[in-house]
Amino acid sequence: MFFYSFNTHTKLPVYKCTDKTYAPNMKNDVLEDNDVIQDYSYLIDEIANNQNKQAFIKLFKHFAPRIKTFIKKTGLSLNEAEDLAQETMITVWNKAKLFKKDKSAASTWIFAIARNKRIDHLRKQKHPIPHTEDLLNESDLNINNHDLIIEKEQMFTYIKSEISKLPLEQAIVLKKSFFEGMSHIQISKDLSIPLGTVKSRIRLALTSIRKKMKGLH
């Protein structure tokens, strides 16, 4: 069962990802500049279906500064950070049709594009990404159907709040991995802690987040 109730101060109605009808006045609401939680998936759909530049501007305002800060944090220059943030957002526009809101939240999708842009920028060859078609071909298709019904945007908001509650020592390891480009071996050297400790912190953090994700259905 899905117990998490969506934040009540959102302007948007809660809907299932399979529901294609939206409140008629939603477009104005969602494109208005305000601080309420946005349904970013809806904005990506607007780009995919209607080439909606207003929707793009909304996404840009939220994501571009964060992507730039992220790239800067990883040690690249201000110019590189600016360029990669812009490139990421242009990719969001170009690939909007490939976004699957039943698979991930908009934030997860967009930040993954940003991460891959950073990795590709540092390397000669592109970062390999699992081709999910393989999984569909090979798996017994026993994927829990509830997975597809859960609203991924709500899941993201919930998981984000849970991640902020992780023990500091676990959060530090995750941040070093994502923001400082350190492998678990480098983290162990950087923090002068045994490799086994780094591994168990990673395992504890990911297991508890994964449990939370599973607990939603």
Partner 1 sequence: MHPTHHPSYEILLDYAAGNLPIAPSVIIATHCSICQDCNDTLDTINITGAALMDDLNDDIFDFSSLDKVLSKLEFQSNENDTKIENNNGVFDFNIPKTLQKYIPDSFNWKNLSSGVKTAELLTDDGFNLDIYKIKSGYQIPKHTHTGFEYTMVLDGGFTDNQKYFARGDFSLLDNSSEHSPKADPDKDCYCIVSMNSQIKLTGPIGRFINLINF
Residue 70 near residue 179, CB atoms below 8 Å: yes
Considering the complex, state which of residue 26 and residue 202 has its C-beta at the smaller distance from partner 1.
Answer: 202
Among 77, 100, 139, 146, which residue sits at the site for partner 1 (rule: CB under 8 A)? Answer: 139
Distance CA 39, CA 16 (A): 12
210 binds partner 1 (CB under 8 A): yes
Considering the complex, state which of residue 2 and residue 93 has its C-beta at the smaller distance from partner 1.
Answer: 93
Among 18, 33, 79, 129, which residue sits at the site for partner 1 (rule: CB under 8 A)? Answer: 129
Distance CA 127, CA 117 (A): 9
92: exposed, middle or buried (Cβ count in 10 Å: 0-12, 13-18, 19+): buried
Kindly state the helix (H) or strand (E) to which residue 66 belongs, with its residue range.
helix 53-73
Q: Closest approach of Cβ 202 to partner 1, in Å? A: 5
List the x/- string, 168-207, binding to partner 1 by CB under 8 A. Answer: ------xx-xxx-xxxx-x-----------xx--xx-xxx
- For partner 1, the binding residues in 84-103 under the rule CB under 8 A are 85-86, 89-90, 93-94, 96-98
Among 13, 16, 36, 51, which residue sits at the site for partner 1 (rule: CB under 8 A)? Answer: 51
Distance CA 112, CA 40 (A): 15
Tokens standing for 75?
Answer: 């040690």
